[in-house]
Amino acid sequence: DADVTQTPRNRITKTGKRIMLECSQTKGHDRMYWYRQDPGLGLRLIYYSFDVKDINKGEISDGYSVSRQAQAKFSLSLESAIPNQTALYFCATSDIGLGDTQYFGPGTRLTVL
């Protein structure tokens, strides 16, 4: 079984709808991250969480919110989806050491019409 899973893997929705993307991990890591990938821009950080009680905004948090339900679960919500949020979304986890490697889930491809 994969260490980091994301659901759904693909989603098509309409402008204005609320969408939740979910991430679960079995690696036992405390830190979790949400990124979005757009062509030519690499990955950009949306939100990150160091533990269940710690949530922080990343580079591009506007229009998104997150919830850390447990050490192993980190959800990303789009309260009112808009077309420019069409992208590939990745969840990642890492241990707490400095420079520890981030391990990524398989990604969720979201299309907002």
Partner 1 sequence: AQKVTQAQTEISVVEKEDVTLDCVYETRDTTYYLFWYKQPPSGELVFLIRRNSFDEQNEISGRYSWNFQKSTSSFNFTITASQVVDSAVYFCALSEGPYNNAGNMLTFGGGTRLMVKP
Give the footprint of partner 1 on residues 63-92 (CB under 8 A). Answer: 88, 90
| Residue 40 near partner 1 by CB under 8 A | yes
DSSP 48-72: EEEETTEEEE-TT-TT-EEEEEETT
Residue in 36, 66, 107, 112 binding partner 1, rule: CB under 8 A = 107
Residue in 13, 50, 67, 71 binding partner 1, rule: CB under 8 A = 50
Site string for partner 1, 13-32 (x = CB under 8 A): ------------------x-
Task: Convert 85-112 to b/e letters by CB count within 10 Å (16 or more is b).
Answer: bbbebbbbbbeeeeeeebbebebbebeb
Residues that bind partner 1 (CB under 8 A): 31, 33, 40-45, 48, 50, 56, 58, 88, 90, 94, 98-107, 109
